[in-house]
Amino acid sequence: MKATVNTALRLNGIRVRTAPPRWKLPCANTECSLHQLSPYIGKIKSSIAADLIERYSEPGDLVVDPFAGAGTIPFEAAIRGRRALAADISSYARILAQAKLAPPPSLDAALVLAETALDEAALLPAPDLNEVPAWVREFYHPRTLSEALNFATVCRRPGNEFLMACFLGILHHQRPGFLSYPSSHLVPYLRNRQFPRQDFPEMYAYRELKPRLLAKVRRSYKRFATPTKRAVLPFRQTAVEILTLPRQFGALITSPPYMNALDYGRDNRLRLWFIAPNLANNVDNDVTQRRQAFVNALSSLATKAERGLKPKGYCVYVVGEAIKRTFDGHPSNVVVTIMHQQAPSLRLKTVMADQIPDVRRTRRECKGVKTEHVLVFQRS
Ligand SMILES: C[S@@+](CC[C@H](N)C(=O)[O-])C[C@H]1O[C@@H](n2cnc3c(N)ncnc32)[C@H](O)[C@@H]1O
């Protein structure tokens, strides 16, 4: 028997409203191009993040996002006169969020940084490709891989997160501006059946890093905005369970991991390998895998919200709804139950449902996340 999505029109007595129609409008050509540094699974649309920030926080508020991912919510908060605190367990999230929240101040400065790093990388000794795992090697022409390995070495130095983010953003895809053999962009799969080497030899040729990286840097500054330094608190790479939050904050706006539906470690495996090649199976977290881990993480967060949210402040969760037979509780219901138990001074005020169109879904053919619920709690 197939599991069904909870389509009830009420959640905990609150009528489920349809999300504002403007959330459906595309924003790829209007948002700040730093949002497009590199793809991130489960990333919230920047226009939705902006809307939630405008509605549920005030200028000057500290907005906290403990599952910050690519930093979409903290970035939109910080350019809207709020202060932002971003945290996430993932090293890939750390790089994207730091790149976005503290990029070089101008395109010229970014190009100088990139040229200097490319020069430094060119001076490093040639890497031993035999030390690279076969599953990584199969994505690249050997010369491209040598350049990529040395450039990643330079990018791993603290302060080079923006360059690392640009590099990760061109790591795999089939378009000419990318470094790999033909493969998908979001999740790394070779497309050598679709593009056999004998029929598409140009797709398997050497791809020089430098012009591609510089073009990527330029693209990142197409629509540029940057938060002031004062607006951004240092990124915390940590599990939410051990995250310490400031004594008081104005709003908590976050999208928790999609329980059961997405596997961040597997889906980001190539990028994670370049970030930390020595950490094989550099897996981000196990929250997305197991219900109990999700419950633990959300319980810990609820306690922190109960303790630190300012009076009348909002706590907003954008909860992905996973359809999975093995999971016996709807994620929104789970979040509401946890909040009821751990954060009794916060009341559920609004519930919105947003259907995710296929184009925004990660794996289109699979049974993945289909709707998101936005749960808005307010401190009494
Ligand atoms: C739905 S994504 C957030 C996406 C983000 N809003 C964005 O726009 O990119 C959920 C995030 O939770 C993080 N995560 C999973 N388990 C965690 C934990 N225990 N503590 C902190 N972060 C965790 C994942 O690494 C992932 O980045």
Range(s) of the domain holding residue 311: 10-94+248-270+289-379
Say if residue 374 is in the same domain as residue 262. Answer: yes
Do the beta carbons of residue 260 and residue 291 sit within 8 Å? yes
Is the residue at 236 inside a domain?
A: no
Do the beta carbons of residue 320 and residue 308 sit within 8 Å? no
Residue 313's H or E segment, with its range, is strand 309-322
Say if residue 256 is in the same domain as residue 330. Answer: yes
Look at the chain and report how many structural domains it folds into. Answer: 2
* CATH code, domain carrying 354: 3.40.50.150
Is the residue at 101 inside a domain?
A: no
**Ligand 1 lined by 47 (C-beta under 6 Å):** no
What is the DSSP-derived secondary structure letter of residue 130? G
The angle at the Cα of 156, spanning 273 to 216, to the nearest 5 degrees, equals: 85
Say if residue 114 is in the same domain as residue 87. Answer: no
* Rounded Cα gap, residues 42 and 24, in angstroms: 16
Say if residue 253 is in the same domain as residue 368. Answer: yes
Rounded to a whole number of angstroms, the CA Rg of the chain reads: 21
Say if residue 169 is in the same domain as residue 191. Answer: yes
- Distance in Å, CA 168 to ligand 1 centroid: 18
* Short-list 274, 255, 341, 318, CA closest to 135: 274
Ligand 1 closest atom vs CA 40 = 9
Is the residue at 79 inside a domain?
A: yes
Say if residue 70 is in the same domain as residue 118. Answer: no
Say if residue 266 is in the same domain as residue 215. Answer: no
Do the beta carbons of residue 240 and residue 255 sit within 8 Å? no
**Ligand 1 lined by 332 (C-beta under 6 Å):** no
Say if residue 117 is in the same domain as residue 33. Answer: no
**Ligand 1 lined by 352 (C-beta under 6 Å):** no
**Ligand 1 lined by 348 (C-beta under 6 Å):** no
Estimate the share of the chain in helix, then strand, then coil, as percent rounded to the nearest 5: 40, 15, 45
Q: How many CA atoms lie within 13 A of 125 on its CB side?
A: 3
Is the residue at 254 inside a domain?
A: yes
Say if residue 252 is in the same domain as residue 334. Answer: yes
Is the residue at 278 inside a domain?
A: no
Is the residue at 102 inside a domain?
A: no
Say if residue 184 is in the same domain as residue 79. Answer: no
* Rounded Cα gap, residues 91 and 284, in angstroms: 7
Say if residue 373 is in the same domain as residue 258. Answer: yes
Is the residue at 80 inside a domain?
A: yes
In one-letter notation, the amino acid at residue 275 is: I
* Short-list 187, 199, 323, CA closest to 265: 187
Q: Rounded to two decimals, what is the model's pTM?
A: 0.93
What is the DSSP-derived secondary structure letter of residue 126? P
> How confident is the prediction along the chain (380 residues), in pLDDT tens digits per residue?
343 344 557 888 889 999 999 999 999 999 999 999 999 988 999 999 999 999 999 999 999 999 999 999 999 999 999 999 999 999 999 999 999 999 999 999 999 999 999 999 999 999 999 999 999 999 999 999 999 999 999 999 999 999 999 999 999 999 999 999 999 998 899 999 999 999 999 999 999 999 999 999 999 999 999 999 999 999 999 999 999 999 999 999 999 987 765 677 788 999 999 999 987 554 555 555 677 888 999 999 999 999 999 999 999 999 987 655 443 456 888 999 999 999 999 999 999 998 776 444 444 444 455 678 999 999 99
* Rounded Cα gap, residues 240 and 304, in angstroms: 10
